[in-house]
Amino acid sequence: MNGRVVLSCWIMGLILIPTAISQSFASQMEVFLLPVRDAADPIFTSVRFITLLYEPGSALAKVFNGTNERITFTLNSTTQGMKELQNTVNEAILKQKQSLIQLNNSKLEYTAQIRGDEDRAQISYKIKFAPHITNYVLPSNSTSNKALDLDWRSVVVQGPLTVTVPKYGEFDINYPIGPVKALYPEVAQKLESVEQSKKIFDTPLLDYEEIGFPMDRWHFLFDPTGSQASAAGAGYASEEGESKVVSVFSLGESSFREGTHAAKESSISTTVDGSKVNIKSSDPPPSAQIQISGFAQIKKISNAEIAYVSPTGPSGTTTATGGFPIQVLLILGGMMGAVAILVLIKARKP
């Protein structure tokens, strides 16, 4: 193999490796916020893997060995139980984040797979929750500049969430025990009767706490033309009254400034039916993207993170994370002062 071929393969490897790696990270939240509409359609994704290591020939081995079961279904706002699920999420956002955003017309795609061998079984989960949200624009005395509530993004939905699914009947989409209970009810009962394993299987899947990573540590990109957002098909469309520029905040890139993002893992050892079982749960590192129509800067007031948005970017704005020109900070500082009092008294009340 000559030098040119080796060099070409090496370059191609550098191109392909990041692509292969990125496929293993699920985007846990993505949204395009249009301040003039005060409405958006975020997509929240939950991914989890639970592995059970058991003794060959044990009771669990006899159940799971050779299994390859898959549960998948799609729900919408007319599905029995979805209205209650949506109300539960709204209440959790209000209670935990004191945010008045409202979810409606939600859709949910659920997939779970159980694969078993003689000494182990892996259960994988993927949930795509796509609500329509409103009321994220905060009161302001400015007609052109807007203040956006971002705290709702990191809600954790506690407790079981039961919906009615054809073939399976009542199904808990929030606790990992759901597919086990639907396919192997006797095993589910045994796993939930042991305190250690119950903690693993009763840990919410709709947990977006990691997306609450401080916004000033997210990677920032300013797109002055909106061309990148338009090309990405992210819902951006330059219509009358909307900004022609886009601010992009991304979470998931580990660096010295943004920090290192690791998988969330937990493991326990216990005994089920008289045999030792090791159970490990793993969620991928956080990954998210928030695109905002307009030039946005993040400001923290009390415990609230607010995006202050102007229709255009001041001249001299840098296009990526790092040093903003002093004139940009001064202009944004004036804009923030105009709405700060209103933000502090924004309807953060039950």
- Is the per-residue pLDDT at 13 higher than 50? no
- Is the pTM value of this prediction over 0.75? yes
Give 219-239 pLDDT, tens digit per residue.
998 877 655 554 344 445 554
Percent with pLDDT over 90 in the chain: 61
In a domain, 13, yes or no: no
In a domain, 197, yes or no: yes
- Residue 241: domain span: 27-344
**Alpha-carbon span 60 to 120, nearest angstrom:** 9
Q: Tell me what pLDDT residue 245 has.
A: 86
In a domain, 226, yes or no: yes
Structure confidence at residue 263 as a pLDDT band (50, 70, 90): confident
In a domain, 205, yes or no: yes
In a domain, 9, yes or no: no
Give 110-157 pLDDT, tens digit per residue.
999 999 999 999 999 999 999 999 999 998 777 778 999 999 999 999
- Is the per-residue pLDDT at 319 higher than 90? no
**Alpha-carbon span 96 to 98, nearest angstrom:** 6
Structurally, how many domains does the chain consist of? Answer: 1
Read off the tokens for 228.
Answer: 């990148």
Do 181 and 175 form a contact (C-beta atoms < 8 A)?
no
In a domain, 350, yes or no: no
In a domain, 8, yes or no: no
Compute CA 333 distance to the chain's CA centroid, rounded to the nearest angstrom. Answer: 30
In a domain, 277, yes or no: yes
**Alpha-carbon span 290 to 133, nearest angstrom:** 14
DSSP state of 139: P
H/E stretch holding 122 reads strand 120-134
